[in-house]
Amino acid sequence: MNAPAFLIERLTAPGIAGRREALANLLIACVADGGSLGYRAPLALARARTVFDELADVERNGQALVFTASVEGEIAGCVAIFAEKRETEPHIAELGKLMVHSRFRRHGIGGALVAAAERAAFEWGKTRLYLFTSDDGIAPAFYDRADYQRAGRIPEGGGLPDGTLVDALIFTKKLAGHAV
């Protein structure tokens, strides 16, 4: 099977609002598929919409960068970078909300989204990214391949959509001189 062609684009607040339904449905599908995104299954459409309303507000306030991947006009994936709020750490940002619909996985979309987010974070003046993920076996292997370093483990600090507690892992990556 050939990998689908996809387009990575940055969404501003109006773009997030305009694609809210598609983004909400992506989140619902990823949570239903077991994605450890911080939400319990089944995720209601109203709650998923709220997630993206809030994300649009954060982007509008200059505290987030949001990227989507689309295949033939359909949103296949999403990722966000969140600015650190502490004044002493303006060089740090959090990578979050990485999700790729199960129909589009294993085609490089997740890696392309992360690479776009890393480039934008570096251009935004960020030299260090961090992220939290559940130790579900899938996400940690992805971040290992993307050259993130494991920085810690929080016992039972993560949860799966079915409510199962798992360890949370902290990853970090230095972006200085980043040439992705």
Distance CA 83, CA 65 (A): 9
Distance CA 70, CA 84 (A): 28
Tens-digit pLDDT string for the chain (180 aa): 578 899 999 999 999 999 999 999 999 999 999 998 999 999 999 999 999 999 999 999 999 999 999 999 999 999 999 998 889 999 999 999 999 999 999 999 999 999 999 999 999 999 999 999 999 878 999 999 999 999 999 999 999 999 999 999 999 999 976 544
Q: β-pairing, 128-134 with 64-71?
A: unpaired
Which residue stretches of 9-161 are H helix?
Answer: 13-18, 20-32, 45-60, 109-123, 139-145
**Domain definitions of the chain by residue range:** 7-127
* Architecture category of domain 7-127 in CATH: 3-Layer(aba) Sandwich (3.40)
Distance CA 169, CA 148 (A): 11
